[in-house]
Amino acid sequence: MRTEPGARVPGPATTPENAASAAVAVQAAVAEEQAYVDTVYERLDALRAAYGTRLADVRRQGPSGSPQNRSERDAFAAHYADAVSRLDQVESRLVFGRLDLRRDEPRYVGRVGLSDAEHNQLLVDWRAPSARPFYQATAAHPGDVVRRRHLMTRARAVIGVEDELLDHEHLDEAVADGLTGEGALFAAMSAAREGRMHDIVATIQAEQDAVIRSPLDGVLVVQGGPGTGKTAVALHRAAFLLYAHRERLERSGVLLVGPSRVFLRYIEQVLPSLGESDVVATTMADLLPGTTATGEDGEEVAAVKGRAAMAQVLARAVRGLQRVPDAEQELMVEGTRLHLHPDQVRSAMARARRTGLPHNQARDTFVLAMLDHLVREYAGTRGMEDDPDERAYLREDVRTARDVRVALNLCWMPTTPHGLLERLFARPDLLERHAGGMSARDRALLQREKGSPWTEADIALLDELAELLGPHEQAQAGRAQAEAKIQAAEEVRFAQEAISSQGLGMGMVTAEMLAERFTTTGPRLTTAERAATDRTWTYGHIVVDEAQELSAMAWRALLRRCPARSMTVVGDLAQRSGHHPVASWSQVLGRAAGEHLRESVLTVSYRTPATVMDAATAVLAGLGVAPAYPVRAARDLPDALAVTRADGGAPAPTVVEVARAELARLDASDGPGAGRVAVIVPARRRGEVLGALARADGVRDALAPAGTDPLEARLAVLSTHDAKGLEFDVVVLVEPAEVLEGGTGDIYVAMTRPTRRLHVVHARDLPEGFPVE
């Protein structure tokens, strides 16, 4: 018995009389819940209004008072603005669950916790321990729960309810089956996609909930096949941890690492909709503030750069910047001949290394020790050994002498990570000197010209070098100066605009004065904002998605950012790109596979229809690969798999026809313009397919204009790499045999992106194992 998407109230509706009385029961239930939901929204509105008033009051005070007053005012303003924005974000589907309990009042579950003015709890935050039975209670273990009710809402209206009875007398089939809130879950799974991921807070399943609420400490690995909700679970876990461990995580922050910028945009609404915005989201390519990776490495090059052995190569390269001269050297200081002895250099070096500081910072100790030697010799030569007052002048003479500066730099060269890595890859002799056991072939793979763009794999190497080298004062000072200049100019420009727009001026206030005011009273940075710009920031927790792709060097860079070793690592070994499959997570994790490793498995796919999931598994099997854990699809759909052969060799014209037909199909089923289609192509065919689609009437308009976000368009043309982690109503997969050339993981990823239908277009033979046409 259902109203709008899957609304059910108990009782078999086999006769017309039963059906009628059930409909009446549903209506009564909906009316009852509407009254409650109205009360909750009233409270939300009241809180929002109260915070809004306080914010306006604080802002009205204007930029005056002592610096401390101003700073307090800013803190309050930030707090109130934050509270208003949090309450705004939870507006949609605020209340979604109700638990009827054997020994207590009914309990409503929602996005946030809310109490009325008398402190009676109106709504329990989904993350609170008392909300747990909503996700975990089963027929076998109902605990105190007799009935679980899912509330379906649209805007603020209750449009349906779905009940599951957990007491033994009225046991519900769906609960016995292991899925909770079946109607709500299936409605969520079947909804047309909009190019952005939504939260799943109303329909989290028991195996997912266990992962979300798992303890904070240690490294938790979540292995799950395509569509099992790993990304959703990872995001909800981040929100849960921020709630349950706010004290610990608020100051240190949470870092989320995703596979691509498109992916980060795809998930960007989920955490705010859960009331959390203080998470730093990045990709490995963007991990190093100030460095942008725009280049691409081939698979083999990336594999060599990612090996743990590269850490030793880099350590040796840094050590190579510390050189003892073969023979004594003469240095001229103010017409006096001084001597640099190899033994003195050696002992000054030993002293500097004993500090344990990074290379650029330990250099200070080295230079001081060397200056001591040289100043002693200088004073002796000039007969001034015993005059401490003169010593300072002599020291300055020695320190600033050109010969001395050059010689000490040659012995202990300060450098930047970028400079050193660039030299290492551009100079085969240097690489050979430091490469240890690396083969000549691997060294040749690393070779490239100076000035080449940085790649994602370089970022982890640069990070390692930044750690070994420490800050380079000159480089840092130069960069800071340049940044300060830009910022000052920005502020003056902003102030000038403020002056002209507000009719200020008339000799009373200058742009510079206003700019100074903005800088001293400017908004406080949030933890996430500060963390995102600081390479040495250490986070309280790190969440890594598509973690099967990370290299040993990448894990080192992440572990450095999380000394507490508290991580959630989600991924699928079977979706790993390239031609180097791995059999276990400890192989992938490198250094992160410490003693606190725990593994969980998600087994049900909520995305891909069973027919498509089975086809993907069959293709893997045909290639001799079996996913580590079988995946069960939660549902199947008619016509979920279609295959069209492209006659005449080039598939592009057929792709155009198929894309046109699929868009029309969605128009017919979901309404004009609804739903998303992705054309997944082998990278080398992207241009040809995109060109053909862009020329085709009736298809062209569905594409994103060049240079804009493909997620905004109804029709996207993507490589498998770009499609990682995303999903679409329909996927048109072009030439699977060529996609397969990228490795078995690529074809598995490509085939499992659709939520409804996979349409394969091929001119070449289909991969072995593909279900016959």
Binding site for ligand ATP (CB under 6 A): 185, 188-189, 200, 203-205, 208, 224, 226-232, 572, 575, 606-607, 725, 727, 752
> In sequence order, which ranges of 503-602 are alpha helices (DSSP H)?
511-521, 527-532, 552-560, 585-589
Residue 650 φ/ψ, nearest 5 degrees:
-75, 130
Select 195 or 253, whichever has its Cβ closest to ligand ATP.
195
Considering the complex, state which of residue 187 and residue 314 has its C-beta at the smaller distance from ligand ATP.
Answer: 187
With tokens 């209004």, the residue in question is 49
* Measured CA distances, 641 to 610, 627, 676 (Å): 10, 21, 16
The smaller minimum CB distance to ligand ATP, of residues 329 and 600, is found at 600
Q: From the CB of 752, what's the least distance to ligand ATP, in Å?
A: 6
- The least CB distance from residue 24 to ligand ATP, in Å, is 30
Residue 638 burial by Cβ neighbours in a 10 Å radius (0-12, 13-18, 19+): exposed
DSSP secondary structure string for all residues of 426-461: H-HHHHHHH-TT--HHHHHHH---TTPPPBHHHHHH
As measured in angstroms, the least distance from the Cβ of 209 to ligand ATP is: 9
Kindly state the smallest distance separating residue 756's Cβ from ligand ATP, in Å: 12
> Would you say 325 or 578 has its CB closer to ligand ATP?
578
Pick 208 or 365: Cβ nearer ligand ATP: 208
> Is 226 flagged in the annotation as binding?
yes
Specify whether the CB–CB gap between 114 and 90 falls below 8 A.
no
Q: Please identify which residue in the block is written with the tokens 């030697």.
A: 373
Is the CA virtual torsion 445, 447, 453, 457 positive or negative?
positive
Nearest CA to 734 out of 710, 718, 715, 711 is that of 718
CB of 204 to ligand ATP, least distance (A): 5
Per-position b or e across 721-730, b if 16+ CB within 10 A of its CB: bbbbbbbbbb
Residues 528, 597: Cα–Cα separation, whole Å: 27
Q: Which of 724, 713, 582, 586 is nearest to 659 (CA)?
A: 713
> Which CB sits closer to ligand ATP, 304 or 666?
666
Cβ contacts of residue 476 below 8 Å, gap of 6+?
Answer: none
Identify which of residues 166 and 201 has a Cβ nearer to ligand ATP in the complex.
201
Residue with tokens 């991924």: 571
Paired strand residues for 148: 99, 164
Q: How far is the CB of 284 from ligand ATP (least distance, A)?
A: 17
Q: Which is nearer to ligand ATP, 186 or 454 (CB)?
A: 186
- Is residue 304 a contact partner of residue 313, using CB atoms and an 8 Å limit? no
Q: 224 a known binding residue?
A: yes
How many Å apart are CA 337 and CA 396, to the nearest integer?
Answer: 16
Angle separating helix axes 686-695 and 652-670, nearest 10 degrees = 60
Token reading at 300: 């083999």
519 among annotated binding-site residues: no
Nearer to ligand ATP, 237 or 359 (CB): 237
CB of 665 to ligand ATP, least distance (A): 20
For the CB of residue 124, give the shortest distance to ligand ATP in the complex, in Å: 19
CB 678 within 8 A of CB 726: yes
Residue 245 or 576: which CB sits closer to ligand ATP? 576
Cβ at position 629, least distance to ligand ATP in Å: 12
Q: Which tokens hold the place of 194?
A: 């909009």
Give the shortest CB-195-to-ligand ATP separation in angstroms. 12
Residue 229 annotated as lining a ligand binding site: yes
DSSP single-letter state for residue 703: B
Reported for 477-481, long-range contacts at CB under 8 A and 24+ positions apart, including other chains, are: 479/290
Contact assessment for residue 558 and residue 311, using Cβ atoms and an 8 Å cutoff? no
- Give whichever of 160 and 725 is closer to ligand ATP, judged by the CB atom: 725
Residue 619 sits at the vertex; the CA angle it makes with 635 and 304, to the nearest 5 degrees, is 115
Buried b (16+ CB within 10 A) or exposed e, 74-113: beebbebbebbebbebbeebbbbbbbbeeeeeebbbbbbb
Minimal distance in Å, beta carbon 546 to ligand ATP?
7
Nearer to ligand ATP, 607 or 757 (CB): 607
**Nearest residue relative to ligand ATP (C-beta):** 229
Q: Which is nearer to ligand ATP, 185 or 544 (CB)?
A: 185
Nearest approach, Cβ of 731 to ligand ATP (angstroms)?
Answer: 12
**Secondary structure string (H, E, C) spanning 95-109:** EEEEEEECCCCCEEE
Q: Are 551 and 302 in contact (CB under 8 A)?
A: yes
Residues ≥6 apart with Cβ < 8 Å to 381: 336, 337, 338
CA distances 633 to 69, 79, 182, 341, 617, Å, are 59, 44, 14, 74, 11
> Cβ of residue 226: shortest distance to ligand ATP, in angstroms?
3
Please give the helix or strand (H or E) that residue 339 lies within, else none.
Answer: strand 336-340
> What's phi and psi for 536, nearest 5 deg?
-95, 10
CB of 262 to ligand ATP, least distance (A): 13
* Nearest residue (CB) to ligand ATP, 29 versus 204: 204
Nearer to ligand ATP, 344 or 605 (CB): 605
Helices (H), 456-510: 456-469, 473-502
| Shortest separation between residue 192's beta carbon and ligand ATP, angstroms | 11
Instruction: Give binding residues for ATP as ranges.
Output: 224-231
Instruction: Give binding residues as ranges.
Output: 224-231
